[in-house]
Homo-oligomer: A and B are copies of this chain.
Amino acid sequence: MSDPRDERIPVAVLGATGSVGQRFVQLLARHPWFRVAEVVASERSTGKAYREAADWRLDAAVPEGAADLRIRDYRAALESPVVFSALPAEVAGEIEQRLASEGHAVLTNTRTHRMEPDVPLLIPEVNAEHVAAIEGQRRNRGWSGFIATNPNCSTIHMVLALKPLQAAFGLDAVAVTTMQAVSGAGYPGVPSLDMIDNVVPYIGDEEEKMESETKKLLGEYDGAFHPAEIVVSAQCNRVPVRDGHTECVSVRLKEPAPADEVIVAFEAFRGKPQELGLPSAPPQPVVVRREPNRPQPALDRDTHVGMSSVVGRVRPCPLLGTKFVVLGHNTVRGAAGASILNAELFKVEGLLPV
């Protein structure tokens, strides 16, 4: 299976059988820099072939390279220098810390370490300079490896849209109401009795995450994190959609701007991944649709292979000044793809232990 001439960096995927874990395996299958060498899951699956342990639920087959890997358990020593984590939050803390202390670069989608004062919470287009926090983290904790996190799925797409507005006009306040896809809750996740002919106006801890993560992401790092001074209010809902979070956003800009200038700011936005030509970087982080009734999850979630956020309905808001809709794929750019883009940034920065 593993080709000895394959010089790509071996990576491990933690929580590889879950829905974000499967997305990691899928997105890494043809990655130019990384190859999945180890798949790690709970004891229940240890020793099984990945093909059998994962109840594969994405719409293509289990990638060849991963199908025959044997599941390792969470306590195993890993050989891969780079570890992607889709662990359940309940167990992530200890395992991720141990791996970082043992020298691994841990790129995690799990929420556990996101808000810690020496852990970067990264979207490479938004705050690539927060990578610098790794140095302090290693020093503080005496680790040879490190932990870097990406935000919650609904936060990522909103913040990708907010960043160019903050840069161009200054940003003062944000109100967001989300309509989130069920894949965000994993499998089995949300019961179908909650989602046929229904909406659930509540997702545990989601509003708090959107409110706090947004400030860290849009804030500064100068040896310490300084959250952005923005008021953020979130209302989060679950709707009967498989993939793709839709978010209605209103913003108060420091310098009010008409819709056409806001659109220019969205479309002109490029970040470090685009500059560096990272393999998973979409050509445009924010794509603007001009039709009156877009973006829609069924039609727009796969824009640029699911790595772009799609904005539409940019228009004046009588209350805050500007409103729009932003949509993005919650398990690609909103989860596994986010961690992979982070890893690509670390590689170019020379920070991977390889």
Contact = CB atoms under 8 A, between A and B. Distances in A.
A193 B250 contact: no
A46 interface: no
A4 interface: no
Given A59-B299, A191-B191, A248 B197 contact: no
B192 A235 contact: no
Given A191-B190, A193-B182, A198 B59 contact: no
B199 A318 contact: no
Interface string A29-73: 000000000000000000000000000010110000000000000
A177 interface: yes
A228 interface: no
Interface string A213-245: 000000000000000000111010101111000
Interface in A188-217: 188-202, 211
Contacts of A201: 246, 248, 293-296, 312-313, 325, 327
Interface string A283-316: 0000000001111111101100000000011000
A76 interface: no
A175 B318 CA distance: 9
A179 B192 CA distance: 15
Contact of A175 (B19, B175, B237): B175
Contacts of A298: 59, 196-198, 242
A295 B231 CA distance: 26
Contacts of A299: 57, 59, 198
Contact of A240 (B19, B197, B235, B295): B197
A1 interface: no
Contact of A196 (B182, B202, B301): B182
A194 B192 contact: yes
Given A57-B299, A192-B182, A192-B190, A246 B199 contact: yes
B196 A325 contact: no
Contact of A179 (B179, B197, B231, B250): B179
A317 interface: yes
Nearest to A235: B248
B233 A198 contact: no
A235 B197 contact: no
A117 to B, nearest CB: 22
B199 A239 contact: yes
Contact of A233 (B237, B312, B318): B318
Interface in A245-280: 246, 248, 250
21 contacts: A57-B299, A59-B301, A60-B302, A174-B319, A177-B235, A179-B239, A182-B196, A191-B191, A192-B192, A192-B196, A193-B242, A197-B242, A198-B298, A199-B246, A201-B248, A201-B293, A201-B294, A201-B295, A231-B319, A235-B248, A235-B250
